[in-house]
A = this chain, B = another copy of it.
Amino acid sequence: MSTQPLRIGLFGFGVVGQGLYHVLQQTDGVQTEVVRICVKDKEKPRTIAPQRFTFSSDDILLDPNIDVVVELIDDADDAFDIVRRAMRLGKAVVSANKKLIATRLQELLDLQQETGVPFLYEASTGGSIPIIRNLEEYYDTDHLKSIEGIVNGTTNYILSALHASTSPSYQDALSQAQALGFAESDPTSDTEGFDAAYKTTILATHGFGVVAHPSAVVRRGIAAVRGFDIDVALRHWRTIKLVSRIVRDGDTISLLTLPAFVSRNNQLAHVSGANNAIAVTAEYSDVQCLFGKGAGSLPTASAVVSDLSKIQGNYRYAYGRLKRSAGLTLDQRVTVSVYVRASDEQLDALPFTSVQTDHRDVEGRYIIGSIRLDALQQSTAFIDREAFVALYLED
């Protein structure tokens, strides 16, 4: 392992970038020097000396003294250009950009193959939780059956607020989350489940060796949830969470991100606020759950710093499962238990294979029952923005 400080070129100096800069000054776990920081906005006041900043990516990418690029910008397309150029110029890259990684994964895998340069992205999934590293390094010798988790802090914060004794409306809970910085001014990526779907495909790659586009994830967000749904969940000793799930069945795999009624006997039900948790079920180690902060400046930065320390040790992801399990195919024709609140017409049109509860009154109409995931996805209830669709998880 090199004892020279790692020389860093940083793209982006937002919440995570500033957290990273702070942590790097303090940690004794890795010796680094932030050589240059590339930002877009020339007018914005900065908290550190202006000489560190540049507005030209070339000042980092073409600087032979910079060993590693840390990419922390928002735009996934710009990020891809930076990452590709950096890797082709022989610089290691650390990124926290889940949209970039999930939507361009095959190209990024090819780039790693072509350049032999490490590309690490622990902070992209589960914030501070070391899930990618553990899937790569630790669970690699076990046979994984499923990964199930809460991987979006914004929706978990909103849903936790909706379950609190004060029970605000969805709109109030969202506004509160925005005011506290837990949700963006345009919250769509979080509330509609896109962000969680990105992370689902990243987990599928490292856990099951599958490269799937996020559009292949059966996905629905939380914006349709109402007090009525919360009350039904509570009566069933359950808590509503946005759950991402990958299940292997033989040589097939299914991927979803959906609201879920989670039994209070399940660890995931007790994950509150902006926390995340990911449960890995494997043949030998059984159920393991990793819990931690899913977002935030310092927690996300801590995952980036851990990646930087691994870059210094010449670590790269082995993608062992990708190399071994070429046979797994995506198949969404699995049967799932669900709660659907919708109109009579929509409920009657759903091809349930079995019905546990069929409740219709003036307060609300819903069915709890079993249905094939692909059939659910194609139903009008699934598409209707007013209807609420949730997995119904057993203990």
Chain A residues close to B by CB (< 8 Å): 19, 23, 26-30, 128-130, 133-134, 137-143, 267, 270, 282-293, 296, 298-299, 301-303, 305-306, 308-310, 320, 324
B291 and A26 form a contact (CB under 8 A): no
Q: How far is the CA of A133 from the CA of B135 in the complex (A)?
A: 13
Q: What's the minimum C-beta distance from A207 to chain B, rounded to whole angstroms?
A: 13
Partner among B27, B288, B293 whose Cβ is within 8 Å of the Cβ of A143: B27
A29-B142, A29-B320 known; A288 vs B290 contact (CB < 8 Å):
yes
Q: In whole angstroms, how far apart are the Cα atoms of A322 and B296 in the complex?
A: 30
Contact B324 A28 (CB under 8 A): yes
Which of B267, B287, B292, B324 sits near A270, CB closer than 8 Å? B267
Contact yes or no, B285 A138, CB < 8 A: no
Known: A29-B320, A285-B302. A138 touches B143 (CB 8 A): no
Contact: A289 with B292, CB < 8 Å?
A: yes
Picked from B270, B285, B293, B305, the residue with its CB within 8 Å of the CB of A286 is B293
State whether B29 touches A128 (Cβ < 8 A): no
Q: Which of B137, B288, B291 contacts A288 (CB 8 A)?
A: B291
A30 / chain B contacts, CB cutoff of 8 Å: 141
Closest chain B CB from A42 CB (angstroms)? 30
Tell me if A287 and B292 are in contact (CB < 8 A): yes
**Contacting residues, chain B, for A287 (C-beta < 8 A):** 291-293
Query: A1 → chain B, closest Cβ, in Å?
Result: 8
Chain B residues with CB below 8 A from A301, complex form: 284
The answer to whether B309 touches A291 (Cβ under 8 A) is no
Instruction: Give A27's nearest chain B residue, CB to CB.
Output: B141
Bound: A308/B142 CA distance, A: 12
Closest chain B residue to A20, Cβ basis: B284
Establish whether residues B134 and A130, one from each chain, have CB atoms under 8 Å apart when the complex forms: yes
- Contact yes or no, A286 B298, CB < 8 A: yes
Name the residue of chain B whose CB is nearest to the CB of A301. Answer: B284
Question: Does the CB pair A267–B285 fall under 8 Å?
Answer: no
Cβ 8 A contact of A302, one of B130, B282, B309: B282
CA distance A139 to B290 in the complex (A): 14
Q: Are A305 and B284 in contact (CB under 8 A)?
A: yes
Residues on the B chain within 8 Å of A303, using CB: 285
A142 and B27 contacting across the interface, CB-CB below 8 Å: yes
Rounded to whole Å, the gap between the CB of A278 and the closest CB of chain B is 11
In the complex the two chains form, is A284's CB within 8 Å of B267's CB? no
Tell whether, in the assembled complex, residue B128 and residue A137 are in contact, meaning their CB atoms are under 8 Å apart: no
User: In the bound complex, how far is the Cα of B138 from the Cα of A308, in angstroms?
Assistant: 11
Question: How far is A30 from B142 in the complex, measured between Cα atoms in Å?
Answer: 10
